[in-house]
Structure 1
Amino acid sequence: MRGRVGGLTAITGALLAGQLSVAPPQRPGVAHTDSRPAAVPFAALDPAARSADPATLSARLAGPLANPALGNPAGLVVDALTGALLLDRRSDLPTAPASTLKTVVAAAALTTFGPRETLTTRAFYSPPATADGAATTVVGGGTLWLVGAGDPTLTAAAGPTGYPSFARLSDLATQVRGTGVTQVDRVVADQTLFTGPPTGEGWRDSYVTDGNVTPVSALEVDGGRGAAGATGPRTTTPAMAAANAFAAALRRCGVQVNSTEIGALPAAGVAQPGARQLAAVQSPPIPVLVERMLTYSDNDLAESLGRLVAHARGLPASFAGATSAVLDVLRELGVPTAGTYLADTSGLSTSNRIAPATLVALLRTAVLPGHPALRTLITGLPVAGFSGTLNDRYDSADTRAGAGDVRAKTGSLRIVTSLVGQVVDSDGRLLLFGFFAPVEEAGATRAALDQVAVALESCGC
């Protein structure tokens, strides 16, 4: 066990060291502080480690894969270094991926944006007009425009919330008050960076009320919930909730607010004549957002990142634009996409179809030296028994051996339970896998998938 953990630690350390080297272009709503650091290649794919034998490995996994709790699962295991096929069960047939699809939007975001790029939420001020229509210079009345940049981590919390560098409405309000504004007639929420319907094809009507996702908006606060870290139902009007939260923050700072509403800035995101930017707050860097999305399977972040990729690539920031954009990135990376159909970028849709071979090929692209920008795709994967959606798993007698070793993205819908990730086997060889059980997630299903991963991790095959 110790040797396997050491091997994984070495790989993770090498992945963390990889950085980008090309300066990112300026994009609306995306801020960056300087050029990208120099790149270094990934390392620690040990060619001296003994390669697994496909027949032996397949025999080792036959029992765990035959568990009735998994139905008739599809699956794929490959050698990360050589790409050698070690196990293949219908891996070229597109299937519903559930949240393992988030690895795709992660790759798209990491290759589209630089490691220091952030999302900037802004406040613009339009002073009231005089009787002859001219703008006044007074600091009372007028309109504050709260302009969303697609940052679901924007928070109404004034103090620490346990997540690094949240963009805070309290900071935005303090900046506004610092300019001398003491009263506004209204706060207007602008969510026009994103377009199209707020919910997706193949989404359950209960996703919002069950708390799975907020209706997609370029402006939301605390993930559409009443407070940072809260659970339960999401608001159905995230932009309006953000405007109300901003108004409350302004009042605490001594700025009188008479009303709030939803509106749209005039063309191209520019406030009405006479408006000026008073304040701005930045999200954590996009790779940090990507890591959080993967670790905690954050649906709001996944949908926002997909639209931001689309916007950066000149496509509509909608479901259609986002899915088209992320697939374009896969093709540019050389990842096969035959048979893929995407309805969203979070994996919530039951209409999504993608081949297991596509997702495993993407993981291999991420661990090989050619694309250091993708390192966060690996470091963001939940760690068995330690973090994110695998935090409370791998704690039973038959799965404990995988704790700390299995790194994988989980997925669950009423039609599929999935697990896609990596392990270092007992010979020190890095293996990549994807398993898709066509059954609704339950405790027995999760445990059965974990047993498959542990059998792979403990294999000296």
Structure 2
Amino acid sequence: MPPVPSQPAARRRLPVLLAAALVLVLAVVGLVVVRPGPVGRWLGEGPAAPSTEPVEPSPVAVLAGTDIGAPMPATDGLRAVLDPLIADPALGDRVNVAVADALTGQPLFDQGGGAGTVPASVTKLLTAVTVLTARGPGHRIPTRAVAGEQPGEVVIVGGGDPTLAAGAKGFYQGAGSLEDLAGQVRTALGGTAPTRVVVDSSLYSGPVFGPGWDDDIPTGGYGGAMTALMLDGARTDPKAGRGWAERVPQPDLTAGRAFARLLGVSESAVRKGTAPAPPAEATGAPAGTIEPGAELGVVQSPPLIRLVDIMISESDNIVAEALARQVALARDQPASFAGAASAMAEVVSELGLPAAGLTLADGSGLSRKNLISPTLLTELLALAAGPDHPELGGIFGGLPVAGWSGTLRDRYGSAPGTAAGAGMVRAKTGTLTRVHAIAGVVTTAEGRLLTFAVLTDQVPPDGMEPARVALDRIAAALATCGCH
């Protein structure tokens, strides 16, 4: 293996105190959200300040403390430990790996680290960083209702909120409610009875299914049609469990019909269309007249920091695609798969991250056309841990903890060679047929925090479980490492 390249100047400026980046304070119209991440606790800081957003139980009891003075593993030591594990036949013929020091960003191990590899759901780390950069952690996605062209006509305008609920309790905690929106509309209309609902989902353009998605994704329960208006991530049942769920074929019209029922309008009086332009400030209309395009009500999504948590911790593909489109909108690109991919790549370049080998087709990782290098992922994680972009620290809050939470809850323990990673590894996983990936942070036996990424996209078709175990052994080996 060629020697590991020297650390770029931009990365050498990464901090010694990683925890500073993970205390995130947002001031959004009087809202203050304090978001300390896990790394601050690993570094032995004081108790985390409470957040206004609900999160799963804190994993303080299992996460190892990190010592900023602990020695870094040596490249030769890492090679001796990792090479036999990377050669496991369960990982197939193409395994690309990068390991770096989280405090300094210094590369420590590289095997195909710069090669673009199909990342599956690990793509969501890139989506998280780009949307937090483009929109900010406190941004909320609106769903608006405006007056239509005719008296009593109400237009519901989708803003791209995938969490919108019909009633007070939907699938996503803290979501905006159509029930609330309908109440605002009735108040705004006064004595005028609603007669028709127009569904405006024109904010999104292009195909509703992503390029490079497997044929079973649209109906397989993990993806769905992407429209700018939907309820409960397009689920048919808001009480469905996490993960797989049946999705409605036309999310925007389904939401429009639910809105009509709340307004007392027949579902037969629901159609697709576009909202009138907002009225000018001074129109000379008689007092009390509601002009076409006048806003009748608005509800908001939870802040993006919460949506990022959901996307990462639950690997929610619908939320991921909605967040990718928010990057496109922030960068004045079409809110489509292509526009989102282009905007995300633009933000990656703005952040100074290595874009060689990067190809994006969607924001969830369902597309097999996505290519991301392990080096990009390790540098992205190190950047998120630094003080220059404190808004990016929010990605750590949703990262599953090995043997404790999210998609790693049931991993690291039962398979030989993986137990050492429990409570030491915090990472995002990715899985498609023949594609298996993991990227995150791990604390070594000596207390050094590392970023790592292992991507493989030529696994035998029937080898899902052996490949997962092989990936877990690599991360667990880093947790046991002195590697000098």
Shorter-chain TM-score category?
Answer: 0.7 to 0.9
Shift of 1:415: 3.5
Contact 1:33 1:116 in 2 (8 A): no
Instruction: Select the residue among 424, 429, 447 that pairs with 2:443.
Output: 424
Aligned to 2:477: 455
Aligned to 2:454: 435
Contact 1:124 1:277 in 2 (8 A): yes
Aligned to 1:6: none
Unmatched tracts of structure 1, length 5 or more: 1-10, 24-31, 130-141
Q: Does 1:150 align with 2:160?
A: yes
Alignment partner of 1:381: what SS? coil
Contact 2:170 2:238 in 1 (8 A): no
Q: How does 1:284-363 map to 2 (within 5 A)?
A: 284-363=302-381
The letter of the residue matching 1:433 is F
Q: Deviations over 1:245-267 (max 9, x none)?
A: 2223334xxx6665212222246
Shift of 1:49: 0.7
Aligned to 1:33: 29
The letter of the residue matching 2:88 is N
Over 3 Å counting, the alpha-carbon distance change for 1:242 and 1:160 in structure 2 is: closer
Stretch moving more, 282-291 or 182-191 = 182-191
Alignment partner of 1:87: what SS? strand
Separation (CA, whole Å) in 2 of partners of 1:385 and 1:268: 52
Stretch moving more, 282-291 or 72-81 = 72-81
Separation (CA, whole Å) in 1 of partners of 2:157 and 2:434: 38
Shift of 1:400: 3.0
The letter of the residue matching 2:176 is A
Alignment partner of 1:88: what SS? strand
Contact 1:70 1:437 in 2 (8 A): yes
Q: Does 1:188 align with 2:198?
A: yes
Unmatched tracts of structure 2, length 5 or more: 1-16, 44-65, 281-289
Q: Does 1:249 align with 2:262?
A: yes
Q: Deviations over 1:334-356 (max 9, x none)?
A: 10101211111211111111211
Alignment partner of 2:25: what SS? coil
Separation (CA, whole Å) in 2 of partners of 1:338 and 1:443: 31
Aligned to 1:54: 75
TM-score, reference length from structure 2: 0.81
Separation (CA, whole Å) in 1 of partners of 2:420 and 2:141: 40
The letter of the residue matching 1:200 is G
Identity among equivalent positions (%) equals 44
The letter of the residue matching 2:219 is T
Separation (CA, whole Å) in 2 of partners of 1:445 and 1:62: 16
Aligned to 2:393: 375
Shift of 1:201: 1.4
Separation (CA, whole Å) in 2 of partners of 1:268 and 1:312: 21
Separation (CA, whole Å) in 2 of partners of 1:174 and 1:268: 21
Over 3 Å counting, the alpha-carbon distance change for 1:334 and 1:127 in structure 2 is: closer
Contact 1:359 1:434 in 2 (8 A): yes
Q: Does 1:410 align with 2:420?
A: no
Q: Does 1:199 align with 2:209?
A: yes
Shift of 1:182: 6.9
Alignment partner of 1:280: what SS? strand
Separation (CA, whole Å) in 2 of partners of 1:433 and 1:229: 36
Alignment partner of 1:337: what SS? coil
Separation (CA, whole Å) in 2 of partners of 1:166 and 1:195: 24
Shift of 1:35: 8.6
TM-score, reference length from structure 1: 0.85
Q: Deviations over 1:18-53 (max 9, x none)?
A: 336xx8xxxxxxxx5259889999964754111112
Over 3 Å counting, the alpha-carbon distance change for 1:196 and 1:174 in structure 2 is: same
Shift of 1:151: 0.6
Q: How does 1:53-202 map to 2 (within 5 A)?
A: 53-72=74-93, 73-126=95-148, 128=150, 142-159=152-169, 161=171, 163-179=172-188, 180=190, 183-202=193-212
Separation (CA, whole Å) in 2 of partners of 1:296 and 1:206: 20
Shift of 1:13: 6.4
Contact 1:183 1:257 in 2 (8 A): no
Shift of 1:307: 1.2
Alignment partner of 2:305: what SS? helix
Contact 1:185 1:257 in 2 (8 A): no
Q: Deviations over 1:309-344 (max 9, x none)?
A: 111111111122111111111111110101211111
Alignment partner of 1:291: what SS? helix
Stretch moving more, 78-87 or 48-57 = 78-87
Q: Does 1:400 align with 2:396?
A: no
Separation (CA, whole Å) in 2 of partners of 1:365 and 1:75: 18
Stretch moving more, 177-186 or 221-230 = 177-186
Aligned to 2:60: none
Aligned to 2:245: 232
